[in-house]
């Protein structure tokens, strides 16, 4: 017996406005809309709707909207509708609940509980329209020796670094989880913006090798698509130890999304689920990590920085300190609100910690140990706006990874159904008919627009603080104040309460 579950959202059509042009029907890969020849009208099956808003956006007469269903079980603060429905769903199927994108639960968002400073009287704000306002930075080790040549000039003893014109990178999203056109959009945008995108664990499509100098390639536990040319094509190599959306488990790409092209790029069979292991089976300890770091450096002749990405978990500070002593050039920390193409719901919603707290603790620990310059710190999961970027850098990050925001720029409406592979926006799908809906010429431009806009806002906020280099903002925690935070939260973030003077 399968218990019927009422959909969370209902499709509402204004029949006065609907002209039965059937655009909605053609646009919906989930088969919500249909034309009834008997009545000459459109119908909708809300049980199939994922609320991706594709039909709403494309309806030429704006006749459609999606509303939250007011159907409800008896109101119960403990057993809410979703909780009950999930029990029904599991009793129906015996399966693990799957979800996509980031944790949607109402946990506190610490970005929204921090306020930024501005200059008044005693030092001047700086106007970015009239003065230089530098957002360029370099990622990597900064622990160079001071050595001189015979003429007394400083020798360049720095390890390889990544140059960024903006403090924002596109975070790891694999080809397979997202489409060819989405990848092309990210790669071209990274090139134009002077930053980097990240292949995720899905390998690098041959067509995109030409964007190599703006590409970070990932080496994950499944080693999908990892080979010599792949490593050599990249600007940097990222070892993925964990992901904020699903700390402690590996990736899962449903077989339905593994097309011929994806199969070739990943070097795995077509149509079969690609499940990467929870651990790297050659890394069961910190000293094992060191060996992989140096293996990758050997393979790339010490010409590329190595990033180690971890999920934000309870012991992040100590783990990061260990990584900083293991040869890594950059540590990427991914918060529990980070997105994913597919994750077990219970893990996505219950495992990991907020990136704000993890970042503050990692940065502080590395400084206490005197090794902050051994590594740069990248944070993501989730960074939603330029204000989040400014706060992250003031807490101690070097730069931010954005994933969800980048997908939103490409049209994603956060329906959290990526794992079904039927993305109506052409992003999280491999179906050719859907993929072609995302035009990379348009997509890359929208990404460039987004990051350019954020960078302007970052410059305005920096100028307000009287800071004209992003590097003078890094770790500048006096520029932040907390609001609505407990003493413990303030202590962990290393900031003072709003109203407390310098």
Partner 1 sequence: MSMREGQFRNPSGCAVTGVIDRSGRSMSGQCMIDAITVMHDRSNGLGGGFAGYGIYPHYKDHYAFHLFYDSKEAQADTEKFIGRHFEVVYSSEIPTSKIPSVTGEPIIFRYFLAPMPIRLSHSHLDEREYVARCVNRINAEIAGAYVFSSGKNMGIFKGVGFPEDIGRFYRLDEYEGYAWTCHGRYPTNTPGWWGGAHPFGLLDYSVVHNGEISSYDANRRWIEMFGYKCTLQTDTEVITYIIDYLVRKRGLTLAEVAHVIAASFWSTIADKDEEAREQQTLLRRMFPSLLVTGPFSIILGYEGGLMALGDRLKLRSMVCAEKGDKAYISSEESAIRRIEPELDRVWSPAGGEPAVFELYGRGSGK
Dig out the tokens for 235 from the structure. Answer: 């600007």
Q: Which is nearer to partner 1, 346 or 491 (CB)?
A: 491
Q: Which is nearer to partner 1, 82 or 122 (CB)?
A: 122
Residue 172 DSSP one-character state? P
Dig out the tokens for 63 from the structure. Answer: 């006749």
Q: How far is CA 93 from the centre of its chain?
A: 31
Rounded to a whole number of angstroms, the minimum distance from the CB of residue 126 to partner 1 is 7
Rounded to a whole number of angstroms, the minimum distance from the CB of residue 16 to partner 1 is 58
Q: Which is nearer to partner 1, 75 or 121 (CB)?
A: 121
Helix axis angle for 440-465 and 180-193, nearest 10°, is 40
Rounded to a whole number of angstroms, the minimum distance from the CB of residue 130 to partner 1 is 11
Rounded to a whole number of angstroms, the minimum distance from the CB of residue 465 to partner 1 is 6
Burial class (CB within 10 angstroms; exposed 0-12, middle 13-18, buried 19+) of 75: exposed
Rounded to a whole number of angstroms, the minimum distance from the CB of residue 67 to partner 1 is 48
Per CB under 8 A, residues contacting partner 1 are 119, 122-124, 126, 131-132, 134, 136-138, 142, 144, 146, 153-154, 156, 158, 161, 367, 370, 372-373, 465-469, 471-479, 501-502
Q: Which residues of 8-37 are buried (b: 16+ CB within 10 A; e: fewer)?
A: bebbebeeeebeeeebbbebbbbebbeeee
Q: Which is nearer to partner 1, 184 or 329 (CB)?
A: 329
How many whole angstroms separate alpha carbon 49 and alpha carbon 57?
Answer: 15
Rounded to a whole number of angstroms, the minimum distance from the CB of residue 111 to partner 1 is 19
Residues in the chain: 502
Rounded to a whole number of angstroms, the minimum distance from the CB of residue 154 to partner 1 is 6
Neighbours of 131 (CB within 10 A): 10
Parallel, antiparallel, or unpaired for β 330-334 and 306-311? parallel
Distances (CA, A) of 173 to 61, 164, 239, 305, 488: 35, 19, 14, 20, 35
Q: Which is nearer to partner 1, 71 or 147 (CB)?
A: 147
Q: Which is nearer to partner 1, 49 or 331 (CB)?
A: 331
Q: Which is nearer to partner 1, 289 or 480 (CB)?
A: 480
């Amino acid at each position: 017996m399968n218990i019927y579950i009422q959909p969370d959202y209902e499709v509402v059509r204004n029949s006065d406005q609907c002209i039965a042009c059937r655009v909605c029907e053609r646009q919906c890969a989930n088969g919500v809309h249909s034309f009834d020849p008997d009545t000459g009208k459109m119908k909708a099956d809300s049980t199939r709707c994922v609320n991706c808003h594709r039909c709403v956006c494309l309806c030429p007469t704006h006749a459609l909207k999606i509303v939250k269903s007011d159907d409800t079980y008896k109101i119960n603060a403990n057993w809410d509708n979703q909780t009950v429905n999930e029990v029904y769903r599991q009793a129906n199927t015996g399966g693990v609940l799957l979800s996509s994108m980031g944790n949607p639960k109402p946990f506190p968002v610490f970005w929204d509980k921090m306020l930024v400073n501005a200059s008044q009287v005693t030092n001047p704000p700086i106007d970015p329209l009239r003065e230089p306002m530098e957002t360029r930075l370099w990622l990597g080790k900064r622990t160079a020796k001071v050595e001189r040549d015979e003429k007394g000039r400083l020798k360049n003893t720095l390890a390889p670094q990544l140059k960024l014109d903006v403090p924002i990178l596109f975070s790891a999203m694999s080809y397979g989880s997202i489409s060819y056109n989405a990848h092309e959009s990210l790669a071209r945008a990274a090139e134009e913006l002077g930053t980097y995108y990240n292949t995720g664990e899905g390998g690098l499509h041959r067509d995109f090798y030409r964007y190599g100098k703006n590409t970070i390639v990932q080496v994950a536990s499944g080693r999908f698509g990892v080979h010599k040319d792949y490593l050599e094509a990249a600007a940097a190599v990222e070892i993925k130890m964990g992901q904020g959306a699903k700390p402690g488990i590996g990736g899962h790409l449903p077989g339905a999304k593994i097309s011929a092209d994806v199969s070739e790029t990943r070097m795995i069979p077509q149509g079969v689920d690609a499940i990467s292991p929870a651990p790297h089976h050659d890394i069961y300890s910190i000293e094992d990590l060191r060996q992989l770091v140096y293996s990758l450096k050997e393979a790339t002749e010490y010409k590329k920085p190595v990033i180690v990405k971890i999920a934000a978990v309870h012991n992040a500070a100590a783990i990061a300190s260990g990584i900083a002593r293991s040869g890594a050039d950059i540590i990427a920390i991914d918060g529990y609100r980070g997105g994913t193409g597919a994750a077990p719901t219970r893990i996505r919603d219950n495992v990991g910690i907020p990136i704000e707290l993890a970042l503050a603790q990692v940065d502080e620990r590395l400084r206490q140990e005197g090794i902050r310059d051994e590594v740069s710190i990248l944070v993501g999961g989730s960074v939603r706006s330029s204000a989040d970027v400014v706060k992250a850098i003031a807490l101690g990050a070097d730069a931010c990874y954005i994933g969800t925001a980048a997908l939103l720029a490409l049209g994603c409406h956060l329906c959290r159904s990526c794992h079904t592979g039927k993305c109506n926006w052409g992003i999280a799908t491999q179906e050719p008919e859907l993929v072609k809906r995302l035009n990379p010429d348009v997509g890359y431009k929208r990404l460039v627009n987004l990051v350019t806009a954020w960078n302007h806002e970052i410059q305005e906020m920096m100028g307000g603080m009287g800071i004209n280099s992003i590097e003078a903002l890094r770790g500048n925690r006096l520029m932040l104040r907390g609001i609505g935070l407990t003493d413990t939260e303030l202590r962990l973030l290393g900031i003072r309460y709003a109203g407390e003077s310098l």
